[in-house]
Structure 1
Amino acid sequence: MDINELDTPCAVLDLFRMDRNIKRMQEHMEELGVKFRPHAKTSKCVEVVNAQIAAGARGITVSTVKEAEAFFAAGITDILYAVCISAAKLPRILALRRRGCNVKVIVDSVPAARAVCDFGRRHNERFDVWIEVDTDGHRSGIPPAGGELLEVGRLLHGQGARVGGVLTHAGSSYELHTPEKLAGLAERERAGCVLSATRLREAGIPCEHVSVGSTPTAFAAGSLEGVTEVRAGVYVFFDLVMKNVGVCSVDDIALSVMTTVIGHQKDKGWIMVDAGWMAMSRDRGTAGQTLDYGYGLPCLPDGTPLHGFAVIGANQEHGIISRVATDAKSSTADVDIEAEFPLGCRLRILPNHACATGAQHDVLYAIDANAGVTPWQRFRGW
């Protein structure tokens, strides 16, 4: 398949960049002496995850039960379902475990822990449960120093479940953009999670695994003493949010959306393309950062960024590209948009959030070093 034969809009994956991103993260984890468990929610693709495992990753993280089922069917058995489990999903988790999948679930409250224990006792199953702790106030989790942690631990440490570990996610790292602040948050993440494990162990509750992770803090960590594994996901593709955070460059972004110019509004300076929010997603993650790329950064078909342009608007199937001042490389020179971007020409758009943009597509079109294109299927749904 030739890239020029692809129908647009479509998701395009640069394999050279992806492989380089995988190698960079894996080597960093090995330098820090920890196991790396990549988050598969970014790609939801067997071929991508196989590349991560081939590079040295051990086990995967998922965000839906459907991902767990699909990756287990592909032969991956060590799976952490890193969303607090609801009782309604436990039958599917039980089915996976009965088929030989080492799937782990997480909780962050006494009621959730009790539901897992009750279900486990009824079905004669001892679930592997990890406790989520909150180290940065970003989302869910139990305070590492609070009493609820030990209450949940004692409840799980019995028939129907076992405490497999503790984990945290420093999602507030996406809001930072200096090495000093990222390093500080990485240490806060590490210290809080290690404290949680230490308190459980001192209370007589086994806690084997200490799991931390976000792409920015994974790269910013200087020491991971007491941590057994790191989780990160978006690093495999990177995106404009990560570029603004400072953990990658535009040239590291492996995922883009191929689009076709379908019209012009010359008096407004608009280039109309066939990639709207159905192709790009509505994610505006760069809006609150130092550089706002609208709905994405346009590139030439070969991936060369068009600095000074952005996708400024997105309807369902229409994208609007216009000249903007995005960074120091931007050009303010007048451009004849009809001559430079004629009807039918193709562009590639780098996404704000690779996970959200990827989720709009059933297929990733993987481009190799010889410009050959291979379609890779993605999972969708829950």
Structure 2
Amino acid sequence: METWCHIHDVDRVDSPALLVYPDRIVKNIDRALHIVHGRADRLRPHIKTNKCREVCQLMMDRGITKFKCATIAEAELLGVIGAKDVLLAYQPVGPKIDRFLNLVTAFPETHFACLVDHVDAAQEISKRSLSKGLLSAVYLDVNIGMGRTGVSLEGIERLVMDIHLLEGIQLVGVHGYDGHIHDKDYKLREKQSQHSYGILETAYLMAQVSTSKPLTKVIGGSPSFPFHAERSDVECSPGTFVFWDFGYAENYAEQDFMLAAVLLTRVVSIVDHKHLCLDLGYKSVACESPQPRVKFFDPRIGEIKMQSEEHLVVEVADSAQFNLGDALYAVPRHICPTVACYGELQVVNERQADQIWTVYARNKKINY
């Protein structure tokens, strides 16, 4: 049984809790930098996984200056810690436009940009930017195969023309997210990534001919990271790598990141001689995936039989081997939404939980 995650002062930490290990986080950051051949300027990590200022600061300490995020709260976090370049990977609409522009005003040392894939959004951002005396940077969001957001290749030329006709808004790059690529087979994933990149490259060329200013290309997430890392002209946006999880560890082992976030849970009831109940319900771990949603380090823990809001029932060979209150450690299948279940992270150094990091951007709104 792996015991690297065990903490000596476990009796001081209530459960369920999410433990994080800074030494492993730093090694994962260094590993990501190694994958892009030491080019920190080619990494634009997505912070939706960690939502935590201390983790982002660790990345900045290693020379990373560009970030991607999905919410205004995450963008605000990055402004607070002085990140130089922040892409809100979302097309703001309605009140979110003003919230975004308020960030631009509040943190002038940070260069903020957002996505657009429709002329209506571009026009509204333009109008509100002009009213505040701002020039807003935007990336063209391109549909590179996922079918979630983004303009199609057929609509690129017209949208680019429309953006250039607007005041208060400036096209600075193209963006594509290939979240539909998640096959375990390395060669198939490589082929799919090449296809998605081809779409983004076509969009980039169509957009670049309309301006003398060089445009930036931002592409990908974690599954496609090693492939886009070999394209010297793009910025890569993995996010899960800082903590990793067992879903990615099983499917993308070639990336060689370390598990750096672990769930602490306890036995709260001995159901019968074959079953235990733990305090790890679906309010405490991401539950959008089928079971198993967690993987236990203790090999005595068998199949997950039931999960509800506050409880998790597991099968064991002999429940007499366990006592009420026994601490168990597990890794989530999907770490990103698991982090959002917690307001704070228990920081483990040398097997002691000696610090707390607030999940600063867990809420939908902080100040702006």
- TM-score between the two structures when normalised by the length of structure 2: 0.89
Name the counterpart of 2:57: 50
Taking the aligned partners of 1:63 and 1:53, their CA distance within structure 2 comes to 19
1:164 to 155, 165, 172: 172
Q: CA RMSD in A?
A: 2.3
- Shift of the 178–15 alpha-carbon distance from structure 1 to 2, 3 Å rule, reads same
SS of the aligned residue for 1:278 comes to: coil
Name the counterpart of 1:102: 111
Name the counterpart of 2:272: 266
TM superposition shift of 1:261: 0.4
Kindly report which structure 2 residues correspond to 1:62-81, keeping only aligned pairs within 5 A, or say none: 62-81=69-88
Taking the aligned partners of 1:317 and 1:127, their CA distance within structure 2 comes to 45
The number of residue pairs the alignment matches comes to: 353
TM superposition shift of 1:137: 2.6
Gaps of 5+ in 1: 288-292, 301-305, 324-334
- Shift of the 77–33 alpha-carbon distance from structure 1 to 2, 3 Å rule, reads closer
Per-residue CA deviation, residues 177-196 of structure 1 (Å, 9 max, x unaligned), is: 01101211222232222221
Per-residue CA deviation, residues 71-127 of structure 1 (Å, 9 max, x unaligned), is: 212222421111121131122222221230311111111221222122223333211
TM superposition shift of 1:2: 3.0
1:238 aligns to 2:244 (yes or no): yes
Per-residue CA deviation, residues 127-152 of structure 1 (Å, 9 max, x unaligned), is: 10111111123421112x31x21222
The AA in structure 2 aligned to 1:2 is D
Taking the aligned partners of 2:352 and 2:193, their CA distance within structure 1 comes to 38
1:136 aligns to 2:150 (yes or no): no
Name the counterpart of 2:344: 363
TM superposition shift of 1:368: 1.7
SS of the aligned residue for 1:277 comes to: coil
- Shift of the 317–260 alpha-carbon distance from structure 1 to 2, 3 Å rule, reads same
Taking the aligned partners of 2:350 and 2:147, their CA distance within structure 1 comes to 39
SS of the aligned residue for 2:224 comes to: helix
Asked whether the 8 Å contact 1:313–1:319 carries over to 2, the reply is yes
Name the counterpart of 2:302: 309
Asked whether the 8 Å contact 1:11–1:258 carries over to 2, the reply is yes
Name the counterpart of 1:9: 16
Taking the aligned partners of 2:32 and 2:282, their CA distance within structure 1 comes to 30
Per-residue CA deviation, residues 149-206 of structure 1 (Å, 9 max, x unaligned), is: 12221222231100010011110123x1011012112222322222211111123474
Taking the aligned partners of 2:245 and 2:151, their CA distance within structure 1 comes to 30
1:189 to 164, 186, 196: 196
Sequence identity percentage:
20
1:152 to 142, 159, 180: 159
Gaps of 5+ in 2: 1-7
Asked whether the 8 Å contact 1:200–1:206 carries over to 2, the reply is no
TM superposition shift of 1:381: 1.7
TM superposition shift of 1:34: 5.6
Asked whether the 8 Å contact 1:261–1:273 carries over to 2, the reply is yes
**Whose relative contact order is higher, 1 or 2, with alpha carbons under 8 Å and at least 6 apart?**
2
SS of the aligned residue for 1:344 comes to: coil
